[in-house]
Amino acid sequence: MLVLASGSPQRRTILARLGVAFDVRPADVEELAAGEPHAVARENALLKARTVAAALAPPETDALVLGVDTLVALDGVIYGKPTDEEHARATLRALSGATHDVVSGLALVQGDVVEAATAVTRVTFRRLDPATIDWYLALGEWRGRAGGYAIQEAGGALVRSIEGDYQNVVGLPVSLLLDRRPGLLH
């Protein structure tokens, strides 16, 4: 059994589309917000997976727990989920015309076995004029999204190109997950 240590609707949708059976147990943890982006994403994913795994009771103690943390980084600065519209506006201005990294930490915990890794996708934004930023903010998609945008929604219009795993930008590095657990699809 797979247990997703996240309440993310995007992660649930991706797993469901793959036909993977899973339970959802969101981890209630205080995430790291500063530091080297790969280390922050990895540690947050580990924290989520370990917290949920520790709370499992028999017969679930042998379940595979999946923890994921996705963040946006530009020039070493982490852009998490904007706290309000002005924060989202500042984030989109910073990303405008630039190439940023979408970094996901992925952690798998099953009993005493713990694995963690990171995936990165490079995303290049178009140059965004103030009217485009206003349009996007009015949609409200920035809420609850790392970097303040949703590539799988109207936020895709902000993007010029990507290099790497598209699903990673949505919120789950599927290629990395399947490299670690190819049997999930069987």
At 161-184, the pLDDT tens digits run: 999 999 999 999 999 999 999 888
Tell me: pLDDT of 84 over 90: yes
Which range marks the domain in which residue 27 is found? 2-185
Tell me: pLDDT of 72 over 90: yes
What values do phi and psi take at 96, rounded to 5?
Answer: -55, 125
Q: Where are the alpha helices (DSSP H) in 77-185?
A: 85-95, 130-139, 166-170, 174-180
Radius of gyration of the chain (CA): 17
User: What is the CATH classification number for the domain harbouring 31?
Assistant: 3.90.950.10
DSSP 182: G
What values do phi and psi take at 87, rounded to 5?
Answer: -65, -40
Residues classed as catalytic: 69
- The number of distinct structural domains making up the chain is 1
The per-residue pLDDT for range 125-143, each reduced to its tens digit, is: 999 999 999 999 999 999 9
Contact 79/67 with Cβ under 8 angstroms? no
